[in-house]
Amino acid sequence: MLNKLIANILPYMPKKLIWVFSKRYIAGETIEDGLLASKLLNEKGIEVTIDILGEFIHSIDEAEKNKNEYLEVIERFTDENVKGNFSLKPTSFGLLIDQEVCYNYLREVVELVASKNSFLRIDMEDSQCVDMEIDMFRKLRQEFPKHVGLVLQAYMRRTKSDLEGLNDLNSENAPISFRLCKGIYVEPENIAFKDFHEVQENFLADLKYMFENKMYAGIATHDKYLVDESKKMIQEMNIPKSMYEFQMLYGVTPELRQSIVDEGHRMRVYVPYGKQWFGYSTRRLKENPKMAQHIIKALFIRG
């Protein structure tokens, strides 16, 4: 109840106050902020994935602006040799306005990424986007097999069959690359697992499928149980370091993150930045009010 109430009143709070607790989770407003945060993480042996924050868009002009911003960022980050790659939400490229334009913009960005020998991952959004995002990934993967990946959400009942359906794209010299996360959107029970333990079980079953089928796994979680179980699976199945990495969000569970790095596993942090941080923070909190409790903790506990 309290979480929901706080999440609802957040958009009416002063921007400066929201920034006090958002800054732990967002690198800043500018490309320089994103670069600085990424370089600091690189110095700690952690790679990054850069996400430019975009609000919900209403026109293709806005989508084009977002695409151009990605092109600029890819040039800057690769020129400066940041150890990392890029993450992108297709709705910020107009997925829900014009699918063809969105695909063409995505393709242009992936083409640049490929020319820089880098990598772009398509974030997975809410359930209305899943089929479209899988289709676009399939097409892009056929053209740029080493330079594009996708996110799958363990809370979706369909994820195991999506994995099976995409297995035909896998190959030994370019393993298909998935980020596996729990899923952040509020989805109905008929399509998504709601029970905490069921989501965990599904997460591990999906991960096992990826390893059994020699897919590259980005294990994206801050859930200590899942981290420990994933590590056990890696050991028992003798998975080489070249076939997986752990991933976490900027500012979340830094101690757990460091302990994974210290054990020698590859770690990547999702670094969001951009002028739209305010809308991003408040929207995310409304989508998942439980996160309000973490934000409130961050308000009182420093470091």
Of residues 10 and 75, the one with the C-beta less far from ligand FDA: 10
Closest alpha carbon to 29 in 249, 287, 283, 279: 279
Distance CA 279, CA 277 (A): 6
| Whole-angstrom distance, CA of residue 90 vs CA of residue 125 | 8
The answer to whether the beta carbons of residues 227 and 203 sit under 8 Å apart is no
Supply the minimum distance, in Å, between the C-beta of residue 173 and ligand FDA: 26
Write out the two tokens for 110: 């992936």
Q: Is 177 helix (H, G, I), strand (E, B) or coil?
A: strand
C-alpha distances (whole Å) from 38 to each of 33, 64, 244, 245, 275 are: 9, 25, 20, 17, 17
Q: Identify the sign of the CA torsion 45, 49, 50, 53.
A: negative
**Min separation Cβ 241 and ligand FDA, Å:** 18
Catalytic site residue from 24, 121, 123, 284? 123
Given the complex with ligand FDA, which of 73 and 291 has the nearer CB atom?
Answer: 291
Sign, CA torsion 21/25/27/30: negative
Active site residue 262: no
Alpha-carbon gap, residue 41 to 270, rounded angstroms: 11
Asked about 123 being catalytic, the answer comes back as yes
Q: Is the CB of 41 or the CB of 220 nearer to ligand FDA?
A: 220
Residue 226 tokens, joined: 């899942």
Residue number, 166 or 181, with CB nearest to ligand FDA: 181
CB of 59 to ligand FDA, least distance (A): 24
Amino acid identity at 148: V
The backbone torsions φ and ψ at residue 171, rounded to the nearest 5 degrees and listed phi first, read -150, 155
Report in angstroms how near the CB of residue 161 gets to ligand FDA at its nearest. 18
Rounded to whole angstroms, how far apart are CA atoms 191 and 193? 7
Which residues sit at the interface with ligand FDA, rule CB under 6 A? 123-124, 151, 153, 179, 181-185, 220-223, 247-249, 252-253, 270, 291, 294
Is residue 53 within 8 Å of 272, Cβ to Cβ? yes
Minimum distance from residue 42 beta carbon to ligand FDA (Å): 16
Query: What are the DSSP E strand ranges found in 89-197?
Result: 120-122, 148-153, 177-181
8 vs 253, beta carbon nearer ligand FDA: 253
Cα–Cα distance measured from residue 87 to residue 148, given in angstroms and rounded to the nearest whole number: 10
Given 24, 121, 141, 179, the catalytic residue: 179
Least CB distance to ligand FDA at residue 124 (A): 4
Of 60 and 288, the one with the shorter C-beta distance to ligand FDA is 288
What amino acid positions are annotated as catalytic residues? 123, 179
